[in-house]
Amino acid sequence: MTESIKLSNDGRIVTVMFNRPDAFNAFDQDMVVLLAESLTLLAVDDSVSAVVISGEGRAFCAGGDLRSILSFPYGPAAGLYKLAASFHRAIVEIRRMKKPVIAAINGIAAGGGFSMALACDFRVMAQSAVLRQAYTSNGLSIDGGGTFTLPRIVGLARALEIIAFDKPISSEQALSWGMVTKVVPDGQALEEAYKIARELARGSLHSFGRCKELTTNSFNTAFEAQIELERSALSCCADHPDGKEGLKAFMEKRKPVFTDKRN
């Protein structure tokens, strides 16, 4: 049986590859459980500096496999409720992971694939790839954190426009709206994602992880509570080997060399 999720290493960078190309990498219950479990293990693996997520074939991910949902023995409402639980575990792992997660959008990202791409820290998009919200055209509401991330990336008015009209979003439009980090020629999304991952890995993963955590939590934290969290994190970073190296390099007027790759 072919695994629906494939993991591969390029040094300290791990690629999580959706592997249901005949179904445009739509995820069923087994696939999304495996995805969540894989991300959980990668989050705590000190040998991993960054994670790249992409899809085999012509699609990044077409979202939930509605065929499997419609055949769920307790009905589609129960099927979606169960699928979303595992899917949301994967999304939370992406946001809580204290290392960069980069989506290499090689083809269409729709429905849950759209939400998952938005949950990643950075997005590289192939020129011919398309983003599509897709839920509302099927009479469904958005999951996977899409209603949280989308308005924070593009603003409330544009988010509602995307939700209401559900028009395909080209790579050019996605870049102009700030939905993706970079657009590259077809076939180069994965390579460019690796380049970004390697550049990030040369920096302080501890610093990145702390800043990612603070930024993610900031949407649910009052201002004074947030700056107290910032103060604590700043002190913690200064006491970490990366912080000590960074401060020393600043005083010596040189570039820091971060060698501690723990998170």
**Residues 48-76: tens digit of each pLDDT:** 999 999 999 999 999 999 888 899 999 99
pLDDT of residue 2: 65
The token duo for 42 is 């990668």
Looking at this protein, which amino acid is placed at residue 90? A
pLDDT tens digits, one per residue of 230-239: 999 999 999 9
Q: Is the pTM of this model over 0.75?
A: yes
Strand, helix or coil at 78?
A: helix
Beta pairing, strands 13-18 & 5-10: antiparallel
* Separation CA 72–CA 4 (nearest Å): 19
Nearest to 51 by CA among 64, 38, 60: 38
CA distances from 38 to 5, 89, 218 (A): 9, 11, 27
Burial class (CB in 10 A: 0-12, 13-18, 19+), 103: buried
> Could you report the per-residue pLDDT of 30-46, keeping only the tens digit for each?
999 999 999 999 999 99
**pLDDT-derived band at 1, boundaries 50, 70, 90:** very low
According to the model, what pLDDT value does residue 214 have? 95
Amino acid, res. 2: T
